[in-house]
Structure 1
Amino acid sequence: MSHSVASPSPKLSSWTHTIGASLEPWINLTRVSRFAGTMLVFWPYAWSLTMTARSANLPVARFFYLLFCGFIGASLSHSAGCVWNDILDRDFDRQVERTKGRPIAAGKISVPSAVAFLWAHLGIMLWMVRDVNSLAFKIALVTMFPLAGLYPLMKRITYWPQAWLGISMNAGVLMAWAFITGSIPASAFVLMGGTWAWTIWYDTIYACQDKKDDVKAGVKSTALLFGNSIKLVLALFASLMMSALVVVGRLNGHDLPYFLLSVVGGSIYLAVQLYAVDTDSPKSCWAAFHRNGFNLGALIWAGFLADYIWAAQGPALVDFARGVAVGW
């Protein structure tokens, strides 16, 4: 007996292909397929939220709800930043091999359409923070407009655009504390200082992909500024980041799980990265950037999370262990 499988309708296949082709430039514009960027916005918020949850004894269900909201916010923030960056940098992008095919630079999306798309992102983000307290709302507004809005202009006037990016990318550290407690303690500012140093670390490595083209286009970056001393300077910023995590742990009263995973584990991971990355190889630089967005961010969060769980459930776990011991 022979069996035949009906093939898709030619009209349906053509319609699906047309829809996919029309959406592709918009998907590429948001860089949603390159998820490392979203995670690099998300992790500082996640670290700070977990730190806040531990100090404020936040219920676990509430914690994970706020973590999910932060992930959505980070996704929208990253996408909006990419759209705005591509609008302003379209002439630069045409001169750089890696970016000349971006939708606006390549003429696949018009500037007015991209601006409307950007405002759609900003509208959703403003709606998400409509009910937060005044301090958290002010931080959200400053982050969305002057901080993120001015970043693309920095690479035209200074070799330290990564320093400005480090402020805008990591405002979620302050946002988490402001939203939950209505205040911002010293430990939050120290953590933001550490994440600022981390941003310079990973974005300098990212910028190394375009060093030659950036010189031709007149784009400034720390990758060009640090020159032949780049690994030495990167080691300095990695040290600043881990030192900040140590101070945060002391100020916030974190326990052993945090120091083992976040501090010791993070330090080892950064050292291995620094040794392995080839700053003259775009492929190696992209791989290192990607690992920061996923592996390192998750490793450090694991320490914050383990410490939060230990603080909430530690006594119960100790009693459970004692009960088991007595039973034996």
Structure 2
Amino acid sequence: MSSSVTSPSPRSASFTQSIAAGLEPWINLTRVSRFAGTMLVFWPYAWGLTMTARSANLPIPQFFYLLLCGFIGASLSHSAGCVWNDILDRNFDRQVERTKGRPIAAGKISVPGAVAFLWAHLGIMIWMVRDVNALAWKIALVTMFPLAGLYPLMKRITYWPQAWLGISMNAGVVMAWAFITGSIPTSAFALLGGTWAWTIWYDTIYACQDKKDDVKAGVKSTALLFGNSIKLVLALFASIMMGGLILAGILNGHDLPYFLLSVGGGSLYLAVQLYAVDTDSPKSCWAAFHRNGFNLGALIWSGFLADYVWATKGSVLTDFASRTMLA
């Protein structure tokens, strides 16, 4: 008995490789392989949504559906921001070692092609929010256009581009409240303040990767502004972040799981990270940035989620007990 294995023809393999080679620059343009950026857009929305769900007694199935929608929106938003940033910064990127190989800077993708690709992202995002209420619609439009749109220009005119980015990246906090309740309470603004400080924390660390090249290219950032006092200033913003979380938790009536995991666990993680990061080492800075996108974001969300489930289960048990006593 004999068997034979049919291998792909050279022409078929060549066609597949050609398609992969053609798609690679577009995939690289979105930074989809560097998922930490998407998660940093997603976590503020997830925190705000979970906070809103607890306060508004949102059913758990609806909560997870909205969480999935937010994740898709965060992915599109991050990719669109990367495309727009690379269009405007293509001349700067050619002067920085870490970014000179980016598709637009390297000439692999044309500017008109990138603009069309950007509008495809924006079109999907606008379609996703087409049926939201008036307040949520306004927040979505402001976030997509002036906030995200003007950020790449900030690094040309101020050493505080991270402050502008902090508003843009964390609009999901108030978007979640506006979408579900049609209003934005004080607790949401407290959380927004905390996430704003968090953005300055992690994006300053991220910018430390390019300090030398940024000086030559004329790019401004908080990494250059803070200079030799960078760890001291980072400690200040970490404190502001935790202060925002504490105030938001108090105003929204959160319980022990939130303060134990989100506040206590988050504070400890930030302290360890501040001690460990070497702001003069690009490798160390990238690792710290990556850990913010995955580990710290998830740790803080676990407190929000545990508290939401705790409150939901408690409500269910109370209702059951009430019905039993009435019966």
Please give the TM-score of this superposition, normalised by the length of structure 2.
0.96
> CA offsets per residue over residues 31-81 of structure 1, 9 Å max, x none?
000000000000000000000000000011110010000000000000000
Counterpart position of 1:110: 110
Asked if 1:267 is matched to 2:271, the reply is no
Counterpart position of 1:22: 22
Counterpart position of 1:225: 225
Q: What is the CA–CA distance in structure 2 between the aligned matches of 1:157 and 1:40, rounded to whole Å?
A: 25
Q: What is the CA–CA distance in structure 2 between the aligned matches of 1:110 and 1:245, rounded to whole Å?
A: 43
Q: What is the CA–CA distance in structure 2 between the aligned matches of 1:3 and 1:270, rounded to whole Å?
A: 60
Counterpart position of 1:128: 128
Counterpart position of 2:296: 296
Q: By how many angstroms is 1:7 displaced?
A: 1.8
Aligned positions of 1:302-313 closer than 5 A: 302-313=302-313
Q: By how many angstroms is 1:8 displaced?
A: 1.7
Counterpart position of 1:324: none
Asked if 1:8 is matched to 2:8, the reply is yes
Q: By how many angstroms is 1:307 displaced?
A: 0.3
Q: What is the CA–CA distance in structure 1 between the aligned matches of 2:55 and 2:121, rounded to whole Å?
A: 32
Asked if 1:74 is matched to 2:50, the reply is no
> CA offsets per residue over residues 264-295 of structure 1, 9 Å max, x none?
00000000100000000000000000000000
Q: By how many angstroms is 1:24 displaced?
A: 0.2
> CA offsets per residue over residues 232-272 of structure 1, 9 Å max, x none?
00000000001111111110000000011000000000001
Q: By how many angstroms is 1:103 displaced?
A: 0.2
Q: What is the CA–CA distance in structure 2 between the aligned matches of 1:300 and 1:173, rounded to whole Å?
A: 14
SS in 2 for 1:106: coil
Counterpart position of 1:85: 85
Counterpart position of 1:187: 187
Cα 1:19–1:64 change in 2 (3 A) is same
Asked if 1:168 is matched to 2:144, the reply is no
Q: By how many angstroms is 1:3 displaced?
A: 4.7
Give the length in aligned residue pairs.
320
Q: What is the CA–CA distance in structure 2 between the aligned matches of 1:150 and 1:286, rounded to whole Å?
A: 25
Q: What is the CA–CA distance in structure 1 between the aligned matches of 2:257 and 2:314, rounded to whole Å?
A: 11
Q: By how many angstroms is 1:10 displaced?
A: 1.2
Counterpart position of 1:141: 141
Counterpart position of 1:326: none
Asked if 1:234 is matched to 2:229, the reply is no
> CA offsets per residue over residues 219-240 of structure 1, 9 Å max, x none?
0000000000000000000000
Q: By how many angstroms is 1:6 displaced?
A: 2.2
Aligned positions of 1:38-53 closer than 5 A: 38-53=38-53
Structure 2, unpaired ranges of 5+: 321-327
Q: What is the CA–CA distance in structure 2 between the aligned matches of 1:186 and 1:317, rounded to whole Å?
A: 29
Please give the TM-score of this superposition, normalised by the length of structure 1.
0.96
SS in 2 for 1:308: helix
Which residue identity does 2:49 align to in structure 1? L
Counterpart position of 2:150: 150
> CA offsets per residue over residues 83-118 of structure 1, 9 Å max, x none?
000000000000000000000000000000000000
Counterpart position of 2:325: none
Which residue identity does 1:175 align to in structure 2? M
Which residue identity does 2:107 align to in structure 1? G
Counterpart position of 1:325: none
Q: What is the CA–CA distance in structure 2 between the aligned matches of 1:115 and 1:311, rounded to whole Å?
A: 46
Using the aligned pairs only, state the percent identity.
88
Q: What is the CA–CA distance in structure 2 between the aligned matches of 1:318 and 1:222, rounded to whole Å?
A: 50
Cα 1:254–1:215 change in 2 (3 A) is same
Counterpart position of 1:36: 36
SS in 2 for 1:148: helix
Q: What is the CA–CA distance in structure 2 between the aligned matches of 1:274 and 1:296, rounded to whole Å?
A: 13
Counterpart position of 1:245: 245
Q: What is the CA–CA distance in structure 1 between the aligned matches of 2:314 and 2:199, rounded to whole Å?
A: 33
Counterpart position of 1:55: 55
Counterpart position of 1:199: 199
